[in-house]
Amino acid sequence: MLKQRVITAVVLLLVLLPALFASDTRPFFGLTLLFIAAAGWEWARLNGAGALASVCFGAVVAAGGIWAWSGAGLVQPPGWLWSVALVLWVAGGTLALRGGVSAWPRLPGVLRLSIGPLLLWLAWLAMVEGRTRGLNFLLSTFCLVWMADIAAYFGGRAWGRRKLAPAISPGKSWAGVYTGMVGVLVLGAAWMLLDASGRTDAPSLFTLLWQRLGPAGWLFGCLFLAAMSVVGDLFESLIKRSVGAKDSSGLLPGHGGVLDRIDALLPVCPLALALIHA
């Protein structure tokens, strides 16, 4: 298992890093859209679609991204779109998690299926705008999610006695949430120092939060985004648990599926833009 995880991670990095650092942003847009389409295929499978229907669903997700990118000209989406994402994730995520595992399958199938493309498109468009804003902005957003996850893992192992949502994700603890938030605050302070050195191509998410919202807003924004990364993780876990699945798919050997790797990014990418547009 460890060998598989390492090999898959290396292959993903060899594919992703050149696209991420290329001066032409189109390879990154195309590669991430491919991942989003794969996540759409996984979403359909988890929500009861058959094999052929799931493939078509993934193709529709990709086509929607291409239309938004080229036909609708949403490479730089309007600010209100991120406000929509904010309402969807805060209100919808709260309702879904409060309903629990048993409530999700009782929702109409059309509703469950249609939620997926909307959330995936919003996340992809947010990545597109993030990369357009600059590599530093996009990396700081990604690293916020990764730091929250890594710090939560070690904090949970050390102090995680009180479980966060045992019926949805038995491994998560309140201690993990708190240490994840502390990790994000430390990362944010360090990243702002890097920005102040003048060595970055654009302001990071952390610097923009400080500039737009002030110190108190910066603190709230960092903690809020760290919390929403947990909501994204729990939301995907809820869907998997409702159908008895361990992973969203086996597309990434040793890692599960694409949704398993991007679940926390789905809310954080668009909500980061909602905060800096506030």
Q: Among positive and negative, which fits the CA dihedral 42, 104, 229, 115?
A: positive
Residue-wise pLDDT tens digits, 163-182? 999 999 999 999 999 999 99
pLDDT of residue 153: 94
pLDDT of residue 72: 56
Is 49:60 a contact under the CB 8 Å cutoff? no
Average pLDDT, the chain: 93
Range of lowest pLDDT (8-12, 16-20, 225-229): 8-12
Of residues 70 and 176, the one with the higher pLDDT is 176
Domain range list for the chain: 2-277
Question: Is the model's pLDDT at 73 over the cut of 60?
Answer: no
pLDDT average, residue stretch 242-270: 94
Across the range 238-250, mean pLDDT stands at 94
Q: Is 102 exposed, middle or buried (0-12, 13-18, 19+ CB in 10 A)?
A: exposed
Could you tell me which of 192, 216, 70, 178 has the C-alpha nearest to residue 140? 192
Q: Give the tokens for residue 63.
A: 């086509």
Region 34-56: mean pLDDT is 95
CB distance 106 to 95 below 8 Å: no
What confidence tens digit (pLDDT) does each residue in 114-144 have? 999 999 999 999 999 999 999 999 999 999 9
Q: Phi and psi (nearest 5°) for 165?
A: -150, 75
| Closest alpha carbon to 165 in 156, 44, 42 | 156
Q: Comparing 25 with 234, which gets the higher pLDDT?
A: 234
Q: What is the mean pLDDT of the segment spanning 189-214?
A: 96
Count how many residues are written for the chain.
278
pLDDT at 67: 85
| Res. 225: pLDDT tops 90 | yes
pLDDT band at 218 (very low <50, low <70, confident <90, very high): very high
| pTM assigned to the model | 0.94
pLDDT over 90 (residue 7): no
| Share above pLDDT 70 across residues of the chain, in percent, rounded to a whole number | 97
Q: Is 162 within 8 Å of 142 (Cβ atoms)?
A: no
Residue 235 confidence (pLDDT):
97
Helices marked H in the chain — which ranges? 2-21, 26-46, 51-66, 79-87, 93-99, 109-133, 135-159, 174-196, 205-242, 258-262, 265-277
At 71 the pLDDT is 60
